[in-house]
Structure 1
Amino acid sequence: MEDKRIDFQNVKNEVRVFAPATVANMICGFDILGFAVDFPGDEVKMYRVEEPGVRIRSIEGDEGRLPLDADRNTVSACVKMLLEALGIQEQIGVEIELIKHMPIGSGLGSSSASTVAGLFAINNLLGDPLTKEELMPFCVEGERLACGHGHADNVAPALMGGITLIRGYNPLDVIKLPVPTELYAGIVFPKVDVPTRDARQLIKEKVLLKDAVTQWGNIAGLIAGLYDSDYDLIGRSMHDVLIEPTRAILIPEFYEMKQLALEEGALSFGISGSGPSVVAIARGKDIAEKAATRIQQHLTACDIESFKYVSAVNVDGPKVI
């Protein structure tokens, strides 16, 4: 990292940051596409203290599942990593309060939102010495710590806002894509357990060439549709022939939910990240709301508890609140 001089006279005493949940894959773009939503998300409160080092004061909303050990928690571990990269780990102390507003293991980028909030907070506390692009590798390392795979399809939209494309990883190349103004997401999180590691293990290492060609065409069509705000093209492009057929097995009532969403006029429907959250992509808030409501009603009738979120695409990413 280039020499980043920190003016300690201008370091803030405290900051509070919100970072958004994300819908990774965007149905047809496994590991390369994702978008941010307005809610849910996570908050980090960060305080400057006299004793050097990084510590966690408290975590709320995690039902006691996340570690308070600063070396094992992705938020604090990534903050420590950044301070070490800046060479100031012995010159500053911070304490962190993490407030979870979203379920863990939901397929909505829970670990990403927390990590991005923490890194955005420490950067802001220090006077914003790093750009978002320079923060990105630290966010990716947080994903590696959280799930063993350093992918960026959650952290990129959480940090950059909007819809992002991961063109490549060596080096990391993140591209922001246009966001059609009427694009909405109706998200439903069924309270069933689908661990990310388990979901990834189901994915086939080899695929048929004809299926790969279909998927490439869908991804290209989706990106073209985003640039032209062509909602019909977006809808007919957002189909997954590679990942969904396998992962859908882990999500109860998946195809029934899909049928309901399409009946309500959704452009497309699929799995958010590794699941179990599902997403109805729609033109307009009303259709997204109707699709998500009908899905939730169906799950209730099946004795499956769920949470519902309806949001436009969040184009800003994290913010100081």
Structure 2
Amino acid sequence: MDSITVFAPATVANVACGFDIFGFAVDNPGDQITLTASPEPGVRITDIIGDEGRLPRETGRNTAGIAIQSYLQHINRTDVGVDVVLRKQMPLGSGLGSSAASAVAGVYAINELLGRPLPTIKLLPFAMEGERIACGSAHADNVAPSLLGGFVVIRSYQPLDVVRIETPATLFCTIVHPDIEVNTKDARFILKNEVSLKNTIIQMGNVAGLIAGLMTPDYGLISRSLVDVIIEPVRSILIPEFNEVKQAALENGALGCSISGSGPSMFALSRDALTAEHVGAAMQQAFLSASITSEAYVSEINRQGPKVLASQEVVH
């Protein structure tokens, strides 16, 4: 039977100053999905590996399942049947876009299996439906970079307007995931509904500065702009040793350091791979000083997005 296996990358959302509007993809970790064509119409989650039994197998409650289902309904192919095996290769509730990677892998895989009836950018709304299931909001700051690769700006949601920008070739990301969990809904609940004009102006300057720094490229401007005066001060209280870990990153040469998505993962940007490795080790050591173990990942900005790992007799 026809089958395809796709990998979709994890992502760093918000990127300090860009709450809900910035995100970029990394090389690892990520999620894998295998779709196998079936003569029986419908989308079935036949197995999930690596979730410790925590994720729903019901298609309508699973981020990958609902993304695939929404896509098939849109292209009027409800006659298609697929069995889905999802391999979770990143921690749940990590702040690395776990639910987004699953949704992106699913919708990218089904589009490939059916011979690419839609261009990749048109798959974004279906992946966003997976996010709606996961956290109650169809936001795009994780799914867009996971799907498109690179650094992505969500300029607008109504209408949806997504912009992919170029980043320096030698920009490296360090991600450290402490072995604790922060629920995305809880992390949004504690945020204030209103912010001061003063902080809004500061944040807008940092947003503009970060984009300019990435596109120039100007590492000094990137460093000065990786500052969040609105979200980080509130969410950082959910991450033990946050200030110590951030300071360790900066002292070891990071351009900047902040929370990845809703946390508890933290990310840092550096201008070369060796610095990024040193930064990761220092961040892990800072967590370990409080008896918190962690995993570290170092990669360039992933410009590819999802990729096909294997396929067999893919239908066109």
TM-score, normalising length from structure 2? 0.96
The equivalent of 2:41 in structure 1 is 52
3-state DSSP of counterpart to 1:98: strand
Instruction: Please state how far the C-alpha of 1:141 moved relative to its aligned partner.
Output: 1.2
Instruction: Please state how far the C-alpha of 1:69 moved relative to its aligned partner.
Output: 1.1
Give the one of 69, 72, 84 matched to 2:61: 72
Q: Give a deviation string over 1:165-191, Cα, whole Å, max 9, x none.
A: 000001100000111111111110011
The equivalent of 1:161 in structure 2 is 149
Q: Give a deviation string over 1:97-133, Cα, whole Å, max 9, x none.
A: 0001100000000000000000000000000111122
The equivalent of 2:23 in structure 1 is 34
Does 2:306 align with 1:318? yes
Letter in 1 for 2:20: D
3-state DSSP of counterpart to 2:152: strand
Runs (5+) with no aligned partner, structure 2: 310-316
The equivalent of 2:173 in structure 1 is 185
Q: Percent identity?
A: 54
The equivalent of 1:63 in structure 2 is 52
Give the one of 261, 283, 297 matched to 2:249: 261
Instruction: Please state how far the C-alpha of 1:288 moved relative to its aligned partner.
Output: 1.0
Give the one of 194, 198, 203 matched to 1:206: 194
Whole-Å Cα distance in 1 between the matches of residues 174 and 67 of structure 2? Answer: 31
Answer whether contact 2:66 2:129 (CA < 8 A) is retained: no
3-state DSSP of counterpart to 2:263: coil
What are the equivalent positions in structure 2 for 1:198-237 lying under 5 Å apart? 198-237=186-225
Letter in 1 for 2:140: A
Instruction: Please state how far the C-alpha of 1:293 moved relative to its aligned partner.
Output: 0.7
Whole-Å Cα distance in 2 between the matches of residues 172 and 316 of structure 1? Answer: 21
Runs (5+) with no aligned partner, structure 1: 1-11
Instruction: Please state how far the C-alpha of 1:301 moved relative to its aligned partner.
Output: 2.6
Instruction: Please state how far the C-alpha of 1:250 moved relative to its aligned partner.
Output: 0.4
Give the one of 64, 77, 81 matched to 1:88: 77
Whole-Å Cα distance in 2 between the matches of residues 134 and 263 of structure 1? Answer: 42
Whole-Å Cα distance in 1 between the matches of residues 113 and 154 of structure 2? Answer: 28
Letter in 1 for 2:8: A
Whole-Å Cα distance in 2 between the matches of residues 92 and 167 of structure 1? Answer: 35
Aligned pair count reads 309
Whole-Å Cα distance in 1 between the matches of residues 186 and 298 of structure 2? Answer: 27
Q: Give a deviation string over 1:218-268, Cα, whole Å, max 9, x none.
A: 000000111101111011011000000000000000000111100001000
Whole-Å Cα distance in 1 between the matches of residues 17 and 270 of structure 2? Answer: 15
The equivalent of 1:282 in structure 2 is 270
Answer whether contact 2:62 2:130 (CA < 8 A) is retained: no
Letter in 2 for 1:46: L
Deviation larger for 36-45 or 297-306? 297-306
Whole-Å Cα distance in 1 between the matches of residues 104 and 60 of structure 2? Answer: 17
Instruction: Please state how far the C-alpha of 1:294 moved relative to its aligned partner.
Output: 1.1
Whole-Å Cα distance in 2 between the matches of residues 164 and 114 of structure 1? Answer: 18
The equivalent of 1:142 in structure 2 is 130
Letter in 2 for 1:193: E
Q: Give a deviation string over 1:58-99, Cα, whole Å, max 9, x none.
A: 00010110011112111111111111111111x211000000
Deviation larger for 66-75 or 262-271? 66-75
3-state DSSP of counterpart to 1:309: strand
The equivalent of 1:121 in structure 2 is 109
